[in-house]
Amino acid sequence: MPPLPTEKIDALCDAVREGLGLPSACNFVELSLPQVEKWLRIYPALKSAVEKATADHEHRMIQLAARHAEKDGKLAIAILERRHSQWNKTERQEIRQETQGTVSPELLRALAGAPERVRPRGDTAPKASRSILST
């Protein structure tokens, strides 16, 4: 390991291992992000330690998700879709991109095929109120 502030570097790796990204971990242990990025370029051992801490966090999250996936099949499928490209269905992605509002595509198609009813421009009041006003 490089001749760096050991207790701060250990704390930085612990913060990354617990799930913080590098910028937040630097803030947490009161180290400058640009300085840490410089150290990462200079010291391969530090880079390896931070990468290992990141992998440790990912491993812990996968273990947690896998335990819960035993009870929830949808979670198991979501893990497979994210981890293995052959499980990621293109049709689902297209549907998500097409439907950005709260109206279903089926309803939009039905509305598009419905006949349009247009009132003349000057005729905006409902019939009941028009007859009351004219008497």
Which whole number is the average pLDDT over 16-21? 95
Would 133 be classed as within a structural domain?
A: no
Is 79 found in the same domain as 53? no
User: Are residue 5 and residue 33 in the same domain, yes or no?
Assistant: yes
Query: 21-35, 50-64, 68-82: which has the minimum mean pLDDT?
Result: 68-82
pTM of the shown model: 0.57
The confidence band for 74, taking pLDDT boundaries of 50, 70 and 90, is: confident
Domain count, the chain: 2
Residue 49 in domain: yes
Kindly state whether residues 39 and 80 are assigned to the same domain: no
Tell me: do 89 and 38 sit in the same domain.
Answer: no
Q: Considering only residues 99 and 79, tell me which one the structure prediction assigns the higher pLDDT.
A: 79
88-124 b/e with 16+ CB inside 10 Å = b?
eeeeeeeeeeeeeeeeeeeeeeeeeeeeeeeeeeeee
Give domain status of residue 121, yes or no: no
Closest CA to 9 of 37, 36, 38, 41: 36
| Confidence band, pLDDT 50/70/90 cuts, at residue 123 | low
Instruction: Examine residue 87 and state whether it is found in any structural domain, yes or no.
Output: yes
| Range(s) of the domain holding residue 83 | 70-100
Give exposure, 21-57, as e/b (b: 16+ Cβ within 10 Å): ebeebbeebebeeeebeebbeebeebeebbeebbeeb
